[in-house]
Structure 1
Amino acid sequence: MSVRAQVRRVWYKITSHPDVSPRLMGICLGADCEWTIGPTEDLMGVGEEMIGHTSETGHCRFQRFVEDEAVVSLTEEGERMRRVLRNRRELAEKTDSKSVLVARDRTRQRIAEVEAEHARAE
């Protein structure tokens, strides 16, 4: 009896979410200074505030934190499609998932009915 295995390398890429702006936060590293700013999406504003703090206090060292939302995705289209098909097959095999899908469809139908009733009432 022989065992056969297939080893594949799966490549992922990490990118910033296109619909979410990065956020920046700054902390003054001056002795006994508790000045902070952010987090905010106004990246230029954080820089201006840091410059203003430096001009007022002479503190010139800051720690900056950049926050963003990341998206991890498969780089190979074939691998993505293989996983989508496998997930669909697993959903079709599970009886519990079928009932969830039926309930979701009923909820969507009820939402449409309610919206139609509201439209008629107006």
Structure 2
Amino acid sequence: MTIKSVMRFVTHRITRHPDSEVTVTARCLNPDCTWEVEPTADVAKADVDCMVHKGATGHGIFARRYEDVAVVVRDE
């Protein structure tokens, strides 16, 4: 018995799912501060909120997290 197989290599790419949006959160890294930006799709507003917090408190270091839904698709 002879077994034959064909192997194909197909190129794929990963991208943001077209029906999703980016969500951003941020939190102040000052050790005594619990301030944070609630999850939002408005990235510019989150940045402004961080700048306003800096102006009000002097705290200028933040951890930001960006999240989206990804999809892997076959390159055509």
TM normalised by structure 2 equals 0.85
C-alpha distance in 2 between matches for 1:28 and 1:41: 19
5+ residue gaps, structure 1, are 77-122
**What's the CA shift string for 1:28-73, capped at 9, x where partnerless?**
1111211111210111110000001111111111111111121221
Size of the aligned set, in residue pairs, is: 76
Would you tell me which structure has more strand in proportion to its own residues? 2
5+ residue gaps, structure 2, are none
Would you tell me which structure has more helix in proportion to its own residues? 1
Report % sequence identity: 37
Quick check: which has more Rg, 1 or 2? 1
Q: Give 3-state SS (helix, strand or coil) of 1:72's partner.
A: strand
The answer to whether 1:31 aligns with 2:31 is yes
C-alpha distance in 1 between matches for 2:65 and 2:55: 21
Question: Cα RMSD (Å) of the superposition?
Answer: 1.4
C-alpha distance in 2 between matches for 1:2 and 1:17: 43
TM normalised by structure 1 equals 0.56
